Amino acid sequence: MSKYVKDLVTRDIKNRLEGVADAVVVSYVGMDVNKTNELRSELAAKEINLMVVKNSLARRATEGSSLAPAFEGAGGQVAVCWGASDFVSLVKEVVRLDKDEDKFAEFSADGGVMDGERLDADGLKAVSKWPSREEQISMLVGQILGPGATLNGALLGPGKTLNSQIKQKGEGDE
């Protein structure tokens, strides 16, 4: 590949990864075209982008960015996954596909980058056990509403009890 073509490809990779802060690097070597298309459609359904890149060109394109550590130690052709609603959801989906040996035996999550720090395969598995953004929001809302519900019950409980006793006394007099 000539230097001019390498520069064009590097610029294209840089443009496509512009604004991406967190990504996962996966290996797909040995997958046939049908499996690759099936993988891409499953990822697209979850709003996850997959781009196949040559490692050296990706390293040049991400030099100086937060994605640069993701390509350290990787060799040959790799694929970069990014997108989803948050990074934890992305990692959960990639790890799920990695575990699916029947469907995608050649697919494996090799590492990634989160907040500028490199994650290895074990780090990705640890992140996949974290709660996603939606789960965190629901836990936060539950913690916010919990004391209010307790206070509501504490304030209304005695009043309801008194109302019930007055009603019983009133029915007894008739």
DSSP calls for 25-51: EEE-TT--HHHHHHHHHHHHHTTEEEE
Model confidence at 141, pLDDT cuts 50, 70, 90, reads very high
Nearest one of 3, 10, 8, 1 to 60, comparing CA atoms: 10
pLDDT at 173: 62
Name the DSSP letter for residue 128: T
Query: Do 24 and 81 meet the contact criterion of CB atoms below 8 Å apart?
Result: yes
Strand-pair partners of 49: 82
Burial 108-121 (b: 16+ CB within 10 A, else e): ebbbbbbeeebbee
For 42-67, write each residue's pLDDT tens digit.
889 989 999 988 888 888 888 888 88
Average pLDDT over residues 109-117: 87
Indicate if the pLDDT at residue 174 is higher than 70: no
Q: Domain coordinates of the chain in residue numbers?
A: 3-130, 131-174
Quote the CA–CA distance of 68 and 116 in Å, as a whole number.
8
Residue with token string 């512009």 = 18
Domain spanning 3-130: which CATH class is it, in words?
Answer: alpha beta
Model pLDDT for residues 65-102, shown as the tens digit of each residue: 888 888 887 777 888 999 888 889 989 998 988 888 77
- pLDDT of 6 above 80: yes
